[in-house]
Amino acid sequence: MQKSPNYETLTVKDGWAQLHPAIRRRFSNHDLQVTYPGELSVQSSLFGLVFAWLLQPFGNPLPLTRTRIFKAEVKVFPDNGGGVVWQRNFLRANNAPLRIESVKQLGTDGNLMECIRPGLLGGIGMGLSVYEENGALNFTSQNYFINWGKLRLPIPLWLTPGRTLVEHIDEGKGKFRFCLTMTHPWFGRTIHQDGVFNDPFGEKG
């Protein structure tokens, strides 16, 4: 069984203490089951859209759209095998919700990784570093890999949509901002997602 991540330990340079108490709560209680409703803007370059299509058989990690604003919700709950599930539901009018589900957990080396639920050809994941910057909790990809059962195959950066930066920013008044930016070494910014979500617990720490 994989262990749940301890973000206080993982956050470099003692940045955990610099975070808003509401951010610390969202990332420290791994038994918490909560739904965050909100709205998410998705922007993809042409190359980003091509990568999203190519990654469909590996767990559908990216929405297939160039520019769109979605009503969305993020559900967070414990994973049966250890770790924490982050389930993102993009709510489309007159269509079934688009669901992207990943698990944040510790690898055997003790470092944080995030893995998409496997698709027809396996699952895709990335190793992450965690740090505080300007009061936000940031996650930056360090590597990518494909999971085929117990086999893990590294993926070169140029064969992905690019390096990932995820920012979790507390906006106050029980709201937080989620920003995801993927930047390819050749094609520049390929994917950008930016949304504000409501925390049912408000600003409580």
In single-letter form, the type of residue at position 98 comes to L
Helix (H, G, I), strand (E, B) or coil at 166: strand
127-146 pLDDT per residue, tens: 999 999 999 999 999 999 99
Instruction: Grade residue 2 by pLDDT with cuts at 50, 70 and 90.
Output: low
Helix (H, G, I), strand (E, B) or coil at 81: coil
pLDDT top residue among 62 and 164: 164
Taking the alpha carbons of 36, 77, 21, 167 in that order, is the dihedral positive or negative?
negative
Give the single-character DSSP code of 119: B
Helix (H, G, I), strand (E, B) or coil at 35: strand
Give the single-character DSSP code of 95: S
**CA–CA gap between residue 170 and residue 135 (Å, rounded):** 8
For the cut 80, the answer to whether the pLDDT of residue 105 exceeds it is yes
Tokens of 2: 């994989």
Q: Are 165 and 129 in contact (CB under 8 A)?
A: no
Of all helices (H) and strands (E), which one includes residue 58?
none
Structural domains in the chain plus CATH codes: 7-62+70-198 (2.40.128.20)
Q: Are 142 and 128 in contact (CB under 8 A)?
A: yes
Instruction: Grade residue 114 by pLDDT with cuts at 50, 70 and 90.
Output: very high
For the cut 60, the answer to whether the pLDDT of residue 28 exceeds it is yes
**CA–CA gap between residue 58 and residue 179 (Å, rounded):** 23
142-174 pLDDT per residue, tens: 999 998 877 889 999 999 999 999 999 999 889
pLDDT top residue among 155 and 58: 155
What is the predicted pLDDT for the residue at 34? 92
Q: Are 95 and 161 in contact (CB under 8 A)?
A: no
Task: Give 10's strand partners.
Answer: none
**CA–CA gap between residue 164 and residue 146 (Å, rounded):** 16
Task: Give 62's strand partners.
Answer: none
Placement of tokens 């360090």 in the chain: 142
User: Could you tell me which of 45, 36, 38 has the C-alpha nearest to residue 65?
Assistant: 45
Integer CA distances (angstroms), 174 to 20, 22, 121, 177, in order: 11, 8, 39, 11
73-84 pLDDT per residue, tens: 999 998 887 788
User: Could you tell me which of 151, 149, 127 has the C-alpha nearest to residue 139?
Assistant: 127
